[in-house]
Amino acid sequence: MNRRVGAVGRAIRFAATVPALVAALAIAPAVTAATVDEYDAAYEVMLNQPENLDAIIKFTTIATQLGEYEVAVGALERLLLFSSDLPTVRADLGFLYFRLGSREIARYHLLSALNSGKLPPELETRTERLVEEVNGTLSRHQFSGAVNFGMRYQTNANSAASDDRVLAGGVLVQLNSANQEQSDVDFFASANGRYRYDLQMQNSAAIEVDMGLAVDQFVDESNLRGTVASLNPGFRFELDPVDNKGVTLFPHLLSRVVQRGGDLLSHSFGVGVGLRYAARADLFGQIVFQHRRSDFHNSTSRPSASDRDGFSNRLSAGARYRLTNTWFLTGNVHAVQRDANQDFNSSFEWGARARLLANYSTTLFGGESRRLTSYLSAGLRDIRYSAADPTVDPTVKRQAHEYSLGLGSTLTLNRDWSVSVEGSATNVTSNIRNFVRDNLSVSLSATRRF
């Protein structure tokens, strides 16, 4: 397909003229992805009707969806030869050059469009936003991140069994009240950041360091409070920047520390490699493999935690697809093989999750129009253990199935701040009664991006 599209694109690069249209393709949602046949048909119409503005717009839209940004750039540049006073076209060019990685040229066109004072308000705001992003990427040192904080209510905060009688060594015993389901409220906060050092090479090579910190504090069950810190440095580069732009490889290192209830629960180290596809305006996808060694620390509350020491291999794949101007679909699947010191802690897990999102503007909250993003999600996990746990039931290997549903909305207040409300329901079934449980949760949070 790339050779066919590329051949047509080269033939018209300096022949077509296109008005302003790529703003909606570069930053705002685009229409459903087109096919190569539609591309060729639109090209023929435009070729036979060179003064038909709608035909030119349709062709350039399709070219952009198929990742042929150079085609759209050539057409827009050609249009500026006839008239340089076209600020919206300048903005379009800036968006496209940004996608192509030409930051300096993108900045020139974006600033030209802004300085004209003739952009529509919404496009002017988006252009200003992209100028700031371009200014940041022109530096070899770049940092981005977000801080999220809020509160959450859960009906089963301690993940206890639904039944008050469980197995211990194959014998039914009565759980005391402290170990039965406990509803609780927790306050949480998380910070995620990425440092990027641009090596300024043709293949967009850069050193990237992802870092994260999450803490939560429960009101009643203080022993459930936890802290998770991670640091994952790596090296990202495009495999083939000429013919397969947007396909990147990311070998990286992994490290994580988990604290629970005031005690160090575990630390882990590993290596991973990711392959990402982000060349098309409507489709993003990636595959990641990670190998990790985890060590658990014994404590008074967890005297045999080290039985879980061992290695894990995780393979995951995810994608994000733009369905329409408003609707998006995301999904991911994963498989994890865990090998622990004790076979009853070794397991194989697989799972999948899908999320349907809608982006739209609203004035329900008064004042100016704001973006509201709502989603509906569903997920499942299947876990099968390698051996029976003698402390629970020495005759049965544990199996568990987890089902979850989620619903939430995020209101964007401004460029930096947003607020979210989310609800979820989780149900776990198992062939051992100890691990049958459910949980309902509702959370309110705010996010600050920088």
The predicted structure's pLDDT at residue 340: 96
The predicted structure's pLDDT at residue 331: 97
H or E element: which one contains 26?
A: helix 23-26
Over residues 27-55, the mean pLDDT reads 64
Over residues 277-282, the mean pLDDT reads 74
Whether the predicted pLDDT of 7 surpasses 60: no
pLDDT tens, residue by residue, 427-449 = 999 999 999 999 999 999 999 99
pLDDT tens, residue by residue, 378-421 = 999 999 999 999 999 999 999 999 999 999 999 988 878 999 99
Whether the predicted pLDDT of 51 surpasses 90: no
**What confidence category does residue 52 fall into, taking pLDDT thresholds of 50, 70 and 90?**
low
Whether the predicted pLDDT of 69 surpasses 60: yes
Over residues 215-237, the mean pLDDT reads 92
Whether the predicted pLDDT of 16 surpasses 70: no
Q: Which residue in 190, 199, 197 sits closest to 226, CA to CA? A: 190
The predicted structure's pLDDT at residue 136: 67
For the chain, what percent of residues have pLDDT higher than 70?
Answer: 87
**What confidence category does residue 73 fall into, taking pLDDT thresholds of 50, 70 and 90?**
confident
- The pTM (predicted TM-score) of the whole model is 0.74
CA 318 to chain centre: 9
H or E element: which one contains 8?
A: helix 2-12
Q: Which amino acid belongs to residue 442?
A: V
**What confidence category does residue 150 fall into, taking pLDDT thresholds of 50, 70 and 90?**
very high
CA dist 137 and 114 (Å) reads 19
The predicted structure's pLDDT at residue 181: 93
Whether the predicted pLDDT of 26 surpasses 50: no
Whether the predicted pLDDT of 25 surpasses 60: no
pLDDT tens, residue by residue, 92-123 = 888 888 877 777 788 888 888 888 888 877 77
Place of tokens 């369905």: 323
pLDDT tens, residue by residue, 125-142 = 788 888 877 776 667 888
Over residues 185-194, the mean pLDDT reads 96
Q: Which residue in 407, 406, 390 sits closest to 398, CA to CA? A: 390
Q: Which of 92-96, 215-219, 256-260, 269-273 has the lowest mean pLDDT?
A: 92-96
Over residues 265-284, the mean pLDDT reads 89
C-beta neighbour count of 281 within 10 angstroms: 23
Phi, psi values for residue 233, rounded to 5°: -80, 150
Q: Do 441 and 424 form a contact (C-beta atoms < 8 A)?
A: yes
Domains of the chain: 2-137 (1.25.40.10), 141-449 (2.40.160.40)
CA dist 18 and 24 (Å) reads 14
Phi, psi values for residue 52, rounded to 5°: -85, 105
Whether the predicted pLDDT of 45 surpasses 70: yes
Phi, psi values for residue 390, rounded to 5°: -65, -20
The predicted structure's pLDDT at residue 24: 34
The predicted structure's pLDDT at residue 13: 35
